[in-house]
Amino acid sequence: MEGQLSVEKVAVATPYIDEVNEKEREFLEANGFQVVNIKGLQIEENLEIGRQPPEVAYRLAKDVDRPEAEAVFISCTNFRTIEVIAALEADLGKPVLSSNTATLWASLKSLRIREKLLGLGSLLESLF
């Protein structure tokens, strides 16, 4: 996020329990981000995370957002987010990234694939 979208202040949505969220906050802050809010669904089982429909990630991201956040980050590659990233960006008026979109972006960059992926959020639409 930092250096790619010039984002420092983030709101973080996760499916995780509070103990994991605190570790995530520590990791992000140690890497130069200011976490203005973090909230999790308190799910402990990975299979249960994968069973959540994308609408759950959408509602959580809207709930965790704060006016001072420059972006919203949805953590966890097993959390279905791809389907709602563009709608969230339109509704919130700011970049929304997820573990999945960030991983896809990094993979495409490392492979030197420079095609825009439309409908998957600003990270994948504008940074190639």
Q: What domain range includes position 68?
A: 9-101
Query: Can you give the pTM of this predicted structure?
Result: 0.90
Q: What is the pLDDT of residues 26-80, one digit of tens each?
A: 999 999 999 999 999 999 999 999 999 999 999 999 999 999 999 999 999 999 9
CB atoms within 10 A of CB 87: 15
pLDDT at residue 3 greater than cutoff 60: no
Domain for residue 53, yes or no? yes
Number of domains in the chain: 1
Distances (CA, A) of 63 to 2, 3, 105, 128: 23, 26, 25, 30
In a domain, 45, yes or no: yes
Q: Please report, rounded to a whole number, the percentage of residues in the chain having pLDDT higher than 90.
A: 73
Q: Which amino acid is at 91?
A: D
In three-state secondary structure terms, 50 is helix
Q: Residue 103: pLDDT band by 50, 70, 90 thresholds?
A: confident
CATH code for position 48: 3.40.50.1860
